[in-house]
Structure 1
């Protein structure tokens, strides 16, 4: 096996042992020389600078400092950044690619729990679980044995906004269920939609024809308030909006107005702003179900991100192509 390259952790220190528990850390150390007691949050720290000067692989995560020209000048041997989280837009700069440094991200691994969360919410919303839970809490009785009209997941129409990694994984997870998914994405053509196995619709048509709409588009200048008052008005009365992407994709004032009218329901794992102000009406509206950005990797799921990086390090050491390399040209329309 080739000599292991010097590596350095660059992330929030308290996250590192969760992302790289002992078994995952041991796997990573098969491929790189890395000190788990040295986790860089400040690349200007003298102890960090000494190691950084020898570092060929930067293992990054949430809390990674910005990799600007000054930081990269201190790492003249750096050839790869392996990111144990999703988006790299928050800390990379054009200078990274200008210097020929390859970047890999565990975004595909982070997409899995988000898609799982979304599937769970779609199925629960189809049964109106949240509404009936509140009714049962208040009334303490229910007409058990009666058929409840208007609920159920047989043939429920699910509109997916965005064929991102999460959107595509969700399409896979929906296949075993008797649901009717459709997709809206301006970057997907009919042939690709056919390969994904879903009909391709314009956004307006998808909103008009879906019982549940779930948002998986990236946050860009073009997608801010992608779903606003006009778009919400297109959704059928009684439909449900799920957002696990970014809060700014929804116009929250317009959404609150629809929720107060009782016409729609919403499941929001992300909000704008985040966290919400303590007096936000979304906390108290009975047809809003809010979770605190839990859909992405949490708890034992973050070790999957670390394992993805360890596997990428193995490919790097063997001279193979990175499986999850980031394309700089695609960053503008990526999450």
Structure 2
């Protein structure tokens, strides 16, 4: 970057503290203070008050996180020296206004850091689904004996030789594929943006979505939520799934026609592990809460607790690269926005 007038670039933060515990622990703030001039370690939660006006007037690097106000035209007008925005979280949709790119301000994010716990959660979900862990748990707890669980062990369950279908070679999808590689799985991939050669390099079999849905024992969804992908998993595609197959969604709820999924689940023919829904919190009467073949979690696959520190580390690494004049590793360009989740 061009040299700051003060020698070290001025850094400020914008995020909601109640949603970003562990993202920037004191050790990371201290590290940042050795390469930049931290204006105030307390993050801004709005850009339209007196404190924000003073901070933004000096800010050259803005580190944002969950709960940050939108960096719109009004905010940019108060930040004449802003050169870099680093989002210590995943998607930047809803955070950035077009004016930011118009001014040539660089943008980066920590989506790669958030991808790691999602992929780990997905790996655990796949292993548990393959072994029908939740079914065993429910029967064992209900019966307080093993009369019904022991015969199930002889069924065609377990994780040897199973077929896993991955929908979307996103950051998370690719990491899931990597984590699955030591296991004895056959891995199918549907992603129209991936070539046959690239799929071969990933160690997967590229296929069409219908063929994947019909062939996989476990289907895991990792596509971006775009207008073109809304309800890509619909009644027709769910009907293709094998009896006893499991559908996993750690991506976005809007990718799935949830009425169709609930209808399929009510037949008992398939199972589901669901971390995301549309709306984000289902209605209190939703069948997702009550169906015995659904394992529902409250959007926890991504970074929670101490996993959030990875987000802060990656954001500060990017800020350090910028200050040193090195290329950003995770730069977001205007044209990337249309394909981002």
TM-score (norm 2): 0.95
Corresponding residue of 1:159: 165
Output the CA distance in 2 between the equivalents of 1:58 and 1:235: 46
Corresponding residue of 2:115: 111
Output the CA distance in 1 between the equivalents of 2:246 and 2:88: 33
Corresponding residue of 2:44: 40
Corresponding residue of 2:264: 258
Map 1:1-335; keep pairs closer than 5 Å. Answer: 3-143=7-147, 147-335=153-341
User: Which region of structure 1 is more displaced relative to structure 2, 140-149 or 111-120?
Assistant: 140-149
Output the CA distance in 1 between the equivalents of 2:270 and 2:20: 41
Quote how far apart the aligned CAs of 1:14 are: 2.9
Contact 1:38–1:48 under 8 Å retained in 2: no
Question: In the TM superposition, what whole-angstrom CA distance separates every residue of 1:57-95 from its partner, at most 9, and x where no partner exists?
Answer: 010000111111111011010000011000001111211
Unaligned 5+ runs, structure 2: none
Quote how far apart the aligned CAs of 1:148 are: 2.4
Output the CA distance in 1 between the equivalents of 2:77 and 2:40: 23
Quote how far apart the aligned CAs of 1:252 are: 0.8
Contact 1:242–1:266 under 8 Å retained in 2: yes
Contact 1:156–1:178 under 8 Å retained in 2: yes
Output the CA distance in 2 between the equivalents of 1:17 and 1:282: 29
Contact 1:13–1:40 under 8 Å retained in 2: no
Output the CA distance in 2 between the equivalents of 1:25 and 1:286: 46
Quote how far apart the aligned CAs of 1:145 are: 6.6
Partner-residue secondary structure (3-state), 2:186? strand
Would the alpha carbon gap of residues 61 and 20 (structure 1) be closer, same or farther in structure 2, given more than 3 Å must change?
Answer: same
Question: In the TM superposition, what whole-angstrom CA distance separates every residue of 1:214-263 from its partner, at most 9, and x where no partner exists?
Answer: 00001000111010100100111110000000001111111111111011
- Cα RMSD, aligned residues only: 1.3
Quote how far apart the aligned CAs of 1:189 are: 1.2
Quote how far apart the aligned CAs of 1:7 are: 1.1
Quote how far apart the aligned CAs of 1:102 are: 0.5
Aligned length: 334
